Amino acid sequence: MAIALYGQNKDGGLINEAAKDLEQIYRFATPPNVSDYEHAVAQLVDGTAGDTALHQYADGFECTLYPIVAQDNDAPGMTATGADYAYEQDDDDGIEWRMSDNTCKGREGIDKFTVGKQSFSAELEFSIADVSGTDDCAFGFAKVEAHQAAIDDRDESAVLNVISGDIKIETILNGGATTTTDTTDNWADTEIHSLKVSVSKAGAVTYQIDGAAPSTTASFSFDANEVVTPSFYLLQAADLSGAIIHRKLTVKSDKGSLEE
């Protein structure tokens, strides 16, 4: 057997150092460091409505979290399978996290993506204890802009949204009305599923549930040069969701980091 030379793997192929930038996998395995994000004078994170907090995990995952209303919870609860992002259990309570915040530069190709530069995707695996407790439980891509208390107030967005167990596609273009398509696929109590949203270089969006296309889908494209970021949005219903355990997040792109 030939001995691999420097710069080759054991089969003689060249090692692509850039490949490590094409996919990031985050497993919510350890408690995040949660810190105040938006105040000039640092303060303790206390769940105040609209006060953005920064979540930093040991594996490199970072997001900014926005409490839709005042929260008793200051951080996700940790479990043996991941991080519980259900937060406070009251009707119409909720949170949103985004990987890239509009108040900072961000990392092109890592936590934010400009439509037209490359294709990209994000996939979140998680569980929901009680699906009847979700008015919205949405994952996908949102425009990098100021956080909105209502998901329907986004300027541009493409998500898979679990609403009382029904998995729906919801899209918004240029601040217009939300377009909703029922995939006819469902999510039952305590189940674990993965939701994936992919965006082509041209901006066309496709969806997957557990690695397969939805039973019913819808066409949508982001505007050229729109800057979007992976996002999770939750709004509690009267029934309450119980634990929503984030287990794994995978972010991919065909060129990886394009940081300047």
- Residue 210's contacts (CB-CB under 8 Å, 6 or more residues apart) are 193, 194
User: Could you tell me which CATH number the domain at 84-253 has?
Assistant: 2.60.120.200
pTM: 0.90
Distances (CA, A) of 182 to 141, 154, 171, 179: 18, 20, 12, 10
Q: What local confidence, expressed as pLDDT, does residue 259 receive?
A: 85
- Listed by start position, the domains of the chain span 84-253
The average pLDDT across 219-240 equals 98
Q: What local confidence, expressed as pLDDT, does residue 12 receive?
A: 47
The DSSP line for 139-157 is EEEEESSS--SSGGG-SSE
Q: Which two tokens stand for residue 113?
A: 């993506």
The average pLDDT across 175-202 equals 99
> pLDDT tens digits, residue range 21-59?
799 999 999 999 999 776 555 555 655 666 889 999 999
> pLDDT tens digits, residue range 239-250?
999 999 999 999
d(CA 164, CA 239): 9
Asked whether the predicted pLDDT for residue 171 surpasses 70, the reply is yes
Short-list 182, 21, 220, CA closest to 107 = 21
